[in-house]
Amino acid sequence: MTSRFSDRGGQDAPLALYIHWPFCLAKCPYCDFNSHVRSGIDQAVWRDALLADMAYEARLTAGRPLGSIFFGGGTPSLMPPETVATLIEAAGRYWKMAADIEITLEANPSSVEADRFQSLALAGVNRLSLGVQALDDESLRFLGRIHNVEEALSALEVAQRAFPRVSFDLIYGRPDQSIEDWQRELKQALAFGTDHLSLYQLTIEEGTRFHSLVRQGQFTPMDGDKAADLFDLTREMTKAAGIPAYEISNHARKNSESRHNLTYWRYGDYIGIGAGAHGRRHHAVTIRHRKPENWLAAIKGQHHGIKEETPITARDQAIEALLMGLRLTEGVDLERIARRTGLDVSEFLDLAAIQYYSDQGLLTFNNGLLRITEQGVLLTDALIREISL
């Protein structure tokens, strides 16, 4: 059996570094991410704590190249650009950065944040992910966003001048949204010419304000058949515009995919630092304290923010690699999973079930590459359950 560290995603493959900034100006009603609203933030304390968390991970992954950095949140565009620059510089000292390293930062399109875009670009950020979420004011109010369409379009214009690569998010499948509404909105979005779009269907996550409102009967989520029609329209329009889906919710021009997120979906190793960040390295998952104050206390007491570090069994790695990889249009290389885990494909997959669903036109399986077809993509989770042992 080939060494489990010899394939792409092993010890010789670039790491991805995720840096979580947990603060927002307001909590969106659909959001179940680890985000918090605080009246005061000691920026120096947070900078030093993030540097300490990074240094701990660097000691454990010395010698690995670094292919991407992603500042997520929360709202990391609220970080001082000087802090962003300091963290990027530290990462460059700890790991050997790829010559074409991708450094992404998430931002909201408020005027306050847009004023920082040029400074963030000078700090080293070369890709911006903008949380536009909707292109009409009524929908933005429903989604709890604090910007309006005018601010969003202005921020997008500033971002395209400041950064070589720009992506933005939209949420569709909103209550009472018609196919015609979404068609107009997506046509407008495509006209901006960005190289990447993240287009998410509205999902009602447990623990969010939207979840409570739905339970109280305040609004009714879009039914599944109509949501499927919007999904199909999204695929058709983005493909026709030269920015096809490469993952269930993500669309890009050729060679403009998010390299950082591809590391997740291709089951590569990544480091996560900051409150609530997750990571995966050395065949173990790391979970940091979610509450900002608890994470800071952990940094002070143990010089890192880890709450849990758990080894992943070979079988669990195989199933997780399937869960992630089958989200991608390119599919998943089963032999690569076998090399990474030391398992035979028959130990984690029902080959008879794969043949059955291939005959149904929902899967393809050729030369060791397993893919979900266009007809099967809305059934991804169910198909994975059916074919996994």
Q: Residue 16: which of 321, 259, 252 has the closest Cα?
A: 259
Instruction: Give the model confidence (pLDDT) of 214-231 as tens digits.
Output: 999 999 999 999 999 999
All CATH 3.20.20.70 domain ranges in the chain, comma separated:
15-265
All CATH 1.10.10.920 domain ranges in the chain, comma separated:
314-387
At 113 the pLDDT is 83
Where does the pLDDT of residue 34 fall: very low under 50, low under 70, confident under 90, or very high at 90 and above?
A: confident
For residue 1, pLDDT over 90 is answered with no
If DSSP codes are grouped into helix, strand and coil, which group holds residue 207? coil
Where does the pLDDT of residue 357 fall: very low under 50, low under 70, confident under 90, or very high at 90 and above?
A: very high
Instruction: Give the model confidence (pLDDT) of 331-341 as tens digits.
Output: 999 998 999 89
Architecture of domain 314-387: Orthogonal Bundle (1.10)
Where does the pLDDT of residue 344 fall: very low under 50, low under 70, confident under 90, or very high at 90 and above?
A: very high
At 294 the pLDDT is 97
What number is the average pLDDT over the span 52-56?
Answer: 98
CA atoms 140, 146, 151, 152: torsion sign? negative
At 11 the pLDDT is 60
Where does the pLDDT of residue 40 fall: very low under 50, low under 70, confident under 90, or very high at 90 and above?
A: confident
pTM of the model as a whole = 0.94
Q: Residue 102: which of 90, 88, 116, 113 has the closest Cα?
A: 88
Give the sheet arrangement for strand 250-252, strand by strand: 245-247, 250-252, 196-201, 165-172, 127-133, 96-107, 65-73, 15-21, 270-273, 278-281, 284-288, 306-311
Q: For residues 234 and 202, is the Cβ–Cβ distance under 8 A?
A: no
- Residue 335 CB contacts under 8 Å (≥ 6 apart), including other chains: 345, 368
Rounded Cα distance between 182 and 238, Å, is 13
For residue 110, pLDDT over 90 is answered with no
Across 120-134, b (16+ Cβ under 10 Å) vs e yields bbebbbbbbbbbbbb
Rounded Cα distance between 168 and 189, Å, is 9
Give the sheet arrangement for strand 363-366, strand by strand: 332-333, 369-372, 363-366
Rounded Cα distance between 324 and 363, Å, is 16
At 5 the pLDDT is 29
In what helix (H) or strand (E) does residue 103 lie, and over which residues does it extend?
strand 96-107
Instruction: Give the model confidence (pLDDT) of 266-283 as tens digits.
Output: 999 999 999 999 999 989
Instruction: Give the model confidence (pLDDT) of 250-266 as tens digits.
Output: 999 999 999 999 999 99
Q: For residues 94 and 54, is the Cβ–Cβ distance under 8 A?
A: yes
Q: Peptide bond preceding 74: is omega within 30 degrees of 0, i.e. cis? A: yes
At 38 the pLDDT is 87
Architecture of domain 15-265: Alpha-Beta Barrel (3.20)
Q: Mind giving me the DSSP string for 295-316?
A: HHHHHHHHSS-EEEEEE--HHH
CA atoms within 13 A on the CB side of 341: 25
For residue 7, pLDDT over 60 is answered with no
Instruction: Give the model confidence (pLDDT) of 121-163 as tens digits.
Output: 999 999 999 999 999 999 999 999 999 999 999 999 999 999 9
